[in-house]
């Protein structure tokens, strides 16, 4: 008997046995959907796993402490075949999309090439395809860029996080595009992931216990080579404290910090270090602002779209109601006006009534008393 049938039978038995206790309720947890399916698209699960695979990239070999900071929930592995080709698939589901993106940047290798149209983020190289969709990170070993299109059906069957868990992190959106080295963005939620991703600042001193987030990116163009670090803190006051800390530490971090520039804006702390001249480094961080313009071509949670649609529908209904009431009032005025004029004409009177003058009757209503000379004397 399958797990689903067992749960149905158990529920039926509980309903029968508890028929006399209507006030009591029983919570039955349905079995969780498997993280990896039996098949997707043209891929079918292989009967026997690949023997002694020699893979360069494996999720099992990723820094464990760093991966734990991203809050993994469950994992699954499986081998799939398609037209004679076999691939090894590893998948890890995290608590939210933020953790998944951090894990994606942790696993991504510098030699990998960024690809589009495969989940939320994807990269190919080192004999593997790596991608993130929703709150899940998937690594497909034995695959290449030619397999990207065939892997798309897998993105459709992976679990989709709901509510705030499906919101992409805001911090990486502050990275400038000019001169950005493709695939160099790294996003960290703790000291282990920050250090494992090659952060330039002392990892333990950045205030992770205060819910700090960090993103780093590399730039390479005619200006030189530069590393940009952006830290995000819950409040401007906390950010101010760590701004002073960063400023004090950059002096002893080596020659790449000779022209380093530090700036704070609100909850953001920005650091640019490398071979840019001081003016270019300052210009880079000066052009990063906390205020973001909202556009619907970005990754916005479905709930936001729903609320906007509801608000628009409500305003549209209110405007329509006012239009109907206004039109009704105008029509009623015309009907009553023309109806009264027609009635006067039928009575042989002019259509328009003579204007009536209103008076407040402020003049004295009683005549002044007359006093005779005799009475006056």
Query: How does DSSP assign 234-264, residue by residue?
Result: SSHHHHHHHHHHHHHHHTTS-GGGTT-EEEE
Average pLDDT over residues 171-200: 94
In a domain, 206, yes or no: yes
Mean pLDDT lowest among 52-56, 91-95, 181-185: 52-56
Residues 274 and 220 placed together within one structural domain of the fold = yes
Q: What percentage of the chain has pLDDT greater than the value 70?
A: 78
d(CA 122, CA 139): 10
Residues 182 and 273 placed together within one structural domain of the fold = yes
Q: Tell me, what CATH number does 288's domain have?
A: 3.40.1000
In a domain, 89, yes or no: yes
Residues 178 and 143 placed together within one structural domain of the fold = no
Residues 239 and 158 placed together within one structural domain of the fold = no
In a domain, 361, yes or no: no
The model's pTM: 0.69
Residue 298, Cα to own-chain centre: how many angstroms? Answer: 9
Residues 125 and 137 placed together within one structural domain of the fold = yes
Residues 238 and 213 placed together within one structural domain of the fold = yes
| SS3 label, residue 365 | coil
Residues 173 and 129 placed together within one structural domain of the fold = no
Of 129, 146, 166, which one is at a domain's C-terminal end? 166
In a domain, 231, yes or no: yes
Phi/psi of residue 319, each to 5°?
Answer: -60, -40
Residue 237, pLDDT above cutoff 80: yes
Q: Could you tell me the pLDDT band of residue 135, with boundaries at 50, 70 and 90?
A: very high
What are the tokens at 112?
Answer: 């990998």
Residues 200 and 317 placed together within one structural domain of the fold = no
Q: Could you tell me the pLDDT band of residue 88, with boundaries at 50, 70 and 90?
A: very high
Count the domains in the chain.
4
Q: Could you tell me the pLDDT band of residue 359, with boundaries at 50, 70 and 90?
A: low
Residues 176 and 288 placed together within one structural domain of the fold = yes
Beta carbons within 10 angstroms of residue 258's beta carbon: 13
Residue 204, pLDDT above cutoff 60: yes
Residue 5, pLDDT above cutoff 50: no
Phi/psi of residue 34, each to 5°?
Answer: -55, 145
Residue 357, pLDDT above cutoff 90: no
Range(s) of the domain holding residue 4 = 1-31
Residues 144 and 45 placed together within one structural domain of the fold = yes
In a domain, 16, yes or no: yes
Average pLDDT over residues 139-160: 94
Q: How many CA atoms lie within 13 A of 290 on its CB side?
A: 15
Considering only CA atoms, which of 143, 26, 25, 21 is closest in space to residue 79? 143
* pLDDT score of 7: 39
For residues 236 and 267, is the Cβ–Cβ distance under 8 A? yes
Name the one residue in this structure whose structure tokens are 């529920």. 11
Residue 155, pLDDT above cutoff 90: yes
Rg of the chain, C-alpha, whole Å? 36
In a domain, 355, yes or no: no
What are the tokens at 187?
Answer: 């996003």
Residue 374, pLDDT above cutoff 80: no
d(CA 60, CA 322): 63
Residue 208, pLDDT above cutoff 80: yes
- The larger pLDDT score, comparing residue 27 to residue 39, is at 39
In a domain, 350, yes or no: no
- The larger pLDDT score, comparing residue 284 to residue 368, is at 284
The 10s digit of each residue's pLDDT in 265-303 is 999 999 999 999 999 999 999 999 886 443 433 444 444
Considering only CA atoms, which of 85, 87, 92 is closest in space to residue 55? 87
Beta carbons within 10 angstroms of residue 29's beta carbon: 6
Residues 176 and 276 placed together within one structural domain of the fold = yes
Mean pLDDT lowest among 304-308, 321-325, 361-365: 304-308
Residues 134 and 244 placed together within one structural domain of the fold = no
In a domain, 314, yes or no: yes
């Amino acid at each position: 008997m399958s797990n689903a049938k067992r749960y149905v039978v158990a529920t039926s038995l509980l309903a029968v046995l508890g028929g006399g206790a209507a006030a009591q309720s029983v919570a039955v947890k349905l079995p969780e959907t498997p993280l990896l399916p039996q098949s997707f698209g043209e891929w079918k699960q292989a009967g026997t796993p690949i023997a002694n695979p020699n893979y360069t990239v494996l999720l099992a070999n990723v820094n464990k402490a760093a991966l734990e900071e991203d809050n993994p929930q469950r994992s699954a592995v499986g081998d799939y075949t398609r037209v004679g080709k076999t691939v090894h698939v590893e998948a890890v589901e995290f608590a939210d999309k933020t953790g998944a993106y951090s894990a994606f940047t942790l696993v991504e290798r510098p030699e990998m090439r960024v690809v589009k149209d495969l989940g939320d983020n994807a990269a190919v190289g080192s004999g593997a395809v790596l991608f993130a969709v929703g709150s899940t990170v998937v690594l497909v070993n034995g695959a290449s860029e030619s397999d990207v299109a065939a892997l798309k059906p897998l993105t459709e069957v992976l679990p989709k996080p709901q509510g705030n868990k499906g919101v992409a992190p805001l911090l990486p959106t502050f990275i400038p595009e000019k001169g950005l080295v493709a695939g160099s963005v790294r996003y960290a939620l703790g000291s282990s992931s920050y250090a494992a991703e090659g952060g330039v600042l002392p990892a333990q001193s950045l205030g992770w216990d205060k819910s700090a987030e960090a993103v780093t990116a590399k730039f390479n163009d005619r200006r030189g080579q530069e590393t940009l670090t952006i830290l995000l803190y819950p409040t401007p006051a906390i950010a101010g404290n760590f701004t002073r800390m960063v400023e004090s530490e950059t002096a002893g971090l080596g020659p790449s910090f000779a022209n380093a520039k530090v700036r704070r804006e609100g909850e953001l702390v920005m650091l640019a270090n490398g071979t840019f001249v001081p003016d270019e480094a300052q210009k880079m961080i000066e052009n990063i602002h906390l205020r973001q313009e909202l556009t619907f071509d970005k990754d916005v949670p479905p709930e936001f779209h729903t609320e906007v649609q509801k608000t628009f529908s409500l305003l549209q209904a209110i405007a329509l109601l006012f239009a109907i009431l206004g039109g009704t009032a105008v029509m009623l005025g015309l009907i009553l006006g023309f109806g009264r004029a027609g009635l006067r004409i039928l009575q042989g009177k002019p259509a328009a009534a003579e204007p009536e003058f209103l008076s407040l009757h402020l003049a004295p209503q009683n005549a002044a008393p007359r006093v005779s000379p005799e009475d006056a004397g």
